[in-house]
A = this chain, B = another copy of it.
């Protein structure tokens, strides 16, 4: 692992790139995900807008990176939740709660990942692939809880997405819908047995 000058330079580049993405998250928090501006972003990291183009291809590439990072984080969060197959209700409840927590932790991240809040942007194929991978992990875990039928999985995603959406839209800092996670888990599993 020789430290050639090229290595060092590319490490610096990577680090600056990370700073840019971090600043983008901060600005998205301040101005909304759709309000992200390259001018502001540049200033935030001590540059002018044109200099950003040394580090990122264009604005869409920034959104792509944020989107993929979001799904990596989600996969990690869900991975950390205990998955006790002997108590599927609690297991499902825990995952629903973790998902809602994840959404509440960053509204712009939620908007970027799950809504079409950025009018002219859609994830690239590469970024989209990351999201698919995360969904595959999720369905795998649901299978271990006895939720196998595609319809049952769709029901889980719908209920979870709905709880999160209502929570963020109507009670962003509270837990009015998050509290219903246990009921939701109970009823989904009961219905799964009937399907």
Contact = CB atoms under 8 A, between A and B. Distances in A.
Interface of A: 32, 34-35, 111, 114-117, 119, 151, 154-155, 157-163, 165-166, 169, 176-177, 179-180, 183-184, 186-188, 190-191, 194-195
8 nearest A-B pairs in the assembled complex, by CB-CB distance: A162-B162, A187-B191, A158-B162, A187-B187, A34-B119, A161-B162, A158-B163, A158-B166
Contact of A188 (B32, B161, B169, B187): B187
Contacts of A194: 183, 186-187
A126 to B, nearest CB: 20
Contacts of A188: 187
Given A35-B119, A117-B117, A190-B190, A184 B155 contact: yes
A116 B168 CA distance: 11
B191 A177 contact: no
A160 B177 CA distance: 13
A31 to B, nearest CB: 9
Contacts of A34: 34, 119
B183 A151 contact: yes
B191 A186 contact: yes
B166 A157 contact: yes
A166 B165 CA distance: 11
A78 to B, nearest CB: 18
A159 B177 CA distance: 11
Contact of A191 (B117, B155, B157, B183): B183
A116 B116 CA distance: 9
A86 to B, nearest CB: 22
A161 B165 contact: yes
B154 A180 contact: yes
A187 B160 CA distance: 15
Given A151-B180, A155-B183, A158-B177, 15 more contacts: A34-B119, A111-B116, A115-B116, A115-B117, A116-B117, A117-B117, A154-B177, A155-B187, A158-B166, A160-B162, A165-B165, A183-B195, A186-B194, A190-B190, A190-B191
